[in-house]
């Protein structure tokens, strides 16, 4: 006797985080295009046109890799159930508890606050950070750099990763809740 199968797809964590971090990479490359180009010219010894092409190719390759990996991850097989009740229990078990969801929302808010606070300093100092890289490539001496700018840069990066992680958890948890609520 052939019983009807009930698929139980649930989204996996990580895709939103990967896309948010890729978007951050694109923003950093676009906002820092001129100093990045100058750094590539100084470090690799290529002309400015080639440096721009390398930056664009880098973004395209990374973007395609992120999409390919995430599509593959999300398309992996999920269990199938012969009983609807077993499928429903599985879907409900994949939804995080309310306190955990609340913690993710708080983490998202806190990370967003820190990222917005440190953002302008990070982007303002990006040129100086790349100048240090150019100095090291040309003379081996980094020269003077600001520990304050380094701290703001680290705060921005940590906050951006926190926002990406929390956004991933909040959105995937919400989608899982919607899927579990469908009967």
What are the DSSP calls for 22-81, one per residue?
Answer: HHHHHHHHHHTHHHHHHHHHHHH---HHHHHHHHHHHHHHHHHHHHHHHHHHHHS---EE
Return the SS3 of 7.
Answer: strand
Distance, in Å, from the CA atom of 126 to the CA atom of 28, rounded to the nearest integer, reads 9
**What are the sequence ranges of the domains in the chain?**
9-181
Identify the pLDDT of residue 144. Answer: 66
Identify the pLDDT of residue 96. Answer: 92
Give yes or no for a contact between 39 and 134, defined as CB atoms under 8 angstroms apart: yes
Q: What is the pTM of this model?
A: 0.83
Distance, in Å, from the CA atom of 39 to the CA atom of 147, rounded to the nearest integer, reads 21
pLDDT digits (tens, 9 = 90+) for 129-180: 777 777 777 777 776 667 777 788 888 899 999 999 999 999 999 999 998 8
pLDDT per residue, tens digit, the chain (183 aa), is: 457 777 778 899 999 999 999 999 999 999 888 888 988 888 888 999 999 999 999 999 999 999 999 999 998 888 888 888 888 899 899 999 999 999 999 999 999 999 888 888 888 888 777 777 777 777 777 766 677 777 888 888 999 999 999 999 999 999 999 988 986
Identify the pLDDT of residue 183. Answer: 63
Identify the pLDDT of residue 2. Answer: 55
């Amino acid at each position: 006797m052939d019983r009807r199968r009930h698929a139980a797809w649930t989204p996996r964590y990580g895709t939103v985080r990967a896309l948010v971090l890729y978007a951050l990479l694109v923003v950093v490359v676009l906002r820092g295009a001129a100093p990045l180009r100058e750094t590539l010219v100084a470090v690799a010894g290529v002309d400015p046109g080639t440096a721009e092409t390398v930056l664009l190719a880098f973004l395209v390759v990374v973007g395609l890799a992120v999409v390919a990996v995430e599509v593959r991850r999300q398309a992996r097989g999920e269990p199938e159930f012969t009983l609807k009740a077993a499928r429903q229990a599985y879907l409900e078990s994949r939804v995080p508890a309310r306190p955990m969801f609340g913690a993710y929302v708080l983490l998202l808010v806190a990370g967003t606050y820190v990222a917005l606070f440190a953002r302008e300093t990070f982007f303002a100092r990006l040129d100086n950070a790349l100048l240090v890289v150019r100095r090291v490539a040309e003379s081996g001496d980094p020269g003077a750099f600001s520990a304050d700018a380094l701290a703001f840069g680290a705060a921005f990066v940590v906050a951006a990763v926190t926002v990406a992680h929390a956004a991933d958890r909040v959105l995937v948890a919400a989608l899982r809740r919607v899927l579990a609520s469908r009967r």
